Amino acid sequence: MITAPTLHTERLILRPFTLDDAPDVQRFAGDRDVASTTSAIPHPYEDGMAEEWISTHQPAFEKGTGVSLAITLKDTAKTEETILIGAIGIGIDQTEKIAELGYWVGKPYWNSGYCTEAAKAVVTYGFDVLQLASIHAFYLKRNPASGRVLEKIGMQFEESFPKAVEKWGVLEDMVKYSIQNETHNS
> What is the C-alpha to C-alpha distance for residues 130 and 88, in angstroms, rounded to an integer?
16
Tens digit of each residue's pLDDT (9 = 90 or more) over 41-69: 999 999 999 999 999 999 999 999 999 99
What phi and psi, each to the nearest 5 degrees, are found at residue 151?
-65, -40
Q: What is the dihedral of CA 44, 46, 52, 57, to 10 degrees?
A: 40
CA distances to 24, 32, 36 from 28, in Å: 6, 9, 12
Q: State the pLDDT confidence band at 149, using cuts at 50, 70 and 90.
A: very high
Continuous segment of H or E residues that includes residue 123: helix 114-128
Read off the pLDDT of residues 123-144 as tens digits, 9 standing for 90 and up: 999 999 999 999 999 999 999 9
Tell the CATH topology of 7-185. Answer: Aminopeptidase (3.40.630)
Domain ranges of the chain: 7-185
